[in-house]
Amino acid sequence: MEIKDAKKSFGFVKKGELVKLDYEITNSGKEPLIITDVEVSCSCTIVDFSKQPIAPGQTAKVTVNFDTKTVYDRQDRVVLLKSNDPNSPSKIRYKGIVLKK
């Protein structure tokens, strides 16, 4: 599994905003890649990913939705993508600053 831009910054947002980040996943192996699960550090993060196998050489999108209504100040979060990749889990990361209203 290769992840393009595995680390992203969402900059500054106001508390209560929904941050949406897209990550491009490429299957660099010889077998279909199957993302089986994700692990997030808080309920403020919801991850959308395809349950369909990603064919060798193909790409897919993983979308991270970060709800800032319960957090503020500096945020640095990691999402673990669990898959059938031998190096699983893979990490994607996002960070930024949530301003009080």
pLDDT score of 45: 96
pLDDT score of 90: 97
CATH classification for the domain delimited by 2-99, as one of 1.10.443.10, 3.20.20.100, 2.60.40.10, 3.90.230.10: 2.60.40.10
What are the boundaries of each domain within the chain? Answer: 2-99
SS3 annotation, the chain: CEEECCEEEEEEEECCCEEEEEEEEECCCCCCECEEEEECCCCCEEEECCCCCECCCCEEEEEEEEEHHHCCEEEEEEEEEEECCCCCCEEEEEEEEEECC
Model pTM score: 0.93
- Tens-binned pLDDT, residue by residue, of the chain (101 aa): 999 999 999 999 999 999 999 999 999 999 999 999 999 988 999 999 989 999 999 999 999 999 999 999 999 999 999 999 999 999 999 999 999 87
pLDDT score of 67: 97
